[in-house]
Amino acid sequence: MTSQATRMPRHLLSMADLDAAGIRTILDTATQMHDVQKREVKKIPTLRGRTIINLFFEDSTRTRSSFEIAGKWMSADTINITGKGSSASKGESLRDTVRTIDAMGVDALVMRHGASGAAHQVAQWVDAHVINAGDGTHEHPTQALLDAYTMERRLGSLEGKRVAIVGDLTHSRVVRSNLISLRRLGADVTLVAPPTLMPSGISGWAERDGFALSNDLDHVLQATGSTKPIDALMMLRVQKERMSGGFFPTAREYTVGYGLTRDRLTRLTDANPEIVICHPGPMNRGLEISADAADAAQSLILDQVSAGVAVRMSVLYHLLAGEDSPTEAAATSEGSAA
């Protein structure tokens, strides 16, 4: 089985931890895990006896809930701890907090933290497997995996597909992980943002890794001559809570220049009726994406949420379950349920 032949890293801290074969292995296993979601009894014994701590120092609905559901559907014991509910709120250092949790003998620590690089640092302090559920403006690897999985289910292979990622690139951890993932899967990626929301030094990264940059959304979305239409459009949330100062004059001006408006949606679907629209959430409806686009037939936003559980089940399986086959575990579960 492919998942057994590919060596997985001990931790998942960055998409750079996975080569193309590793990404492919996780996505293929996620397909099997997705089948579990369709059952009446959503339970397999793969991680029975394992303990997973979800340690979230930032608020989250989708990521934390999907990791909790993923662990429970795989029969792991899952415990949620928030920053406000931990001793960190009393002044305890991050090092002491995670080492205290690790001393209890847990198997995995899923962590979201506001500081870039926090997950990398924690991985050096603990014996448990560490999964980065988002660190500052750095990375969010499982989001990139579920985005690729969702796109592939609708578009097939991403090799040669045109993907545009639009919005607040400076403050986005999603875009950094997606760039690595999509390029390793062979997609042709263009990043679009106003100059004030282009990360410092990204031109060198683009030249090295072979993706395009633009400040003109309408030009990127336009298909003329030899330029093929966009296959997938990912809109990023404008992260007002991370902004200090004015990155654009007004919300209306941002929407006019960089929002997926009803008019842009019409032009996109006319050029390519098969286009897919993604958004990692939460959305600012009416700012970076209109209600028409968010709820359109081409929108995969709820599919991304559903895929999040399957992909995180796959990640937990590959980090914690060793060489046991998820297919065999599922069959065992079905037999016991009968």
Known binding site for carbamoyl phosphate: residues?
Answer: 62-63, 112, 140, 143, 281-282
Amino acid identity of residue 130, one-letter, is V
- DSSP type of residue 228: P
103 phi/psi in degrees, rounded to 5: -65, -15
Known binding site: residues?
Answer: 62-63, 90, 112, 140, 143, 173, 237, 281-282
Distance CA 327, CA 313 (A): 13
Sheet arrangement for strand 276-278: 212-214, 188-192, 162-166, 232-235, 276-278
Could you tell me the two tokens for 165? Answer: 């990622």
Q: Are 155 and 224 in contact (CB under 8 A)?
A: no
Could you tell me the two tokens for 49? Answer: 């006896």
Distance CA 27, CA 146 (A): 8
Known binding site for L-aspartate: residues?
Answer: 90, 173, 237
Identify each DSSP E strand in the chain by its residue range. Answer: 51-56, 77-82, 108-113, 129-135, 162-166, 188-192, 212-214, 232-235, 276-278
Helix axis angle, 20-37 relative to 174-184, nearest 10°?
A: 110
Dihedral sign, CA of 67, 69, 75, 77?
positive
Could you tell me the two tokens for 312? Answer: 């995180």
Could you tell me the two tokens for 325? Answer: 């086959």
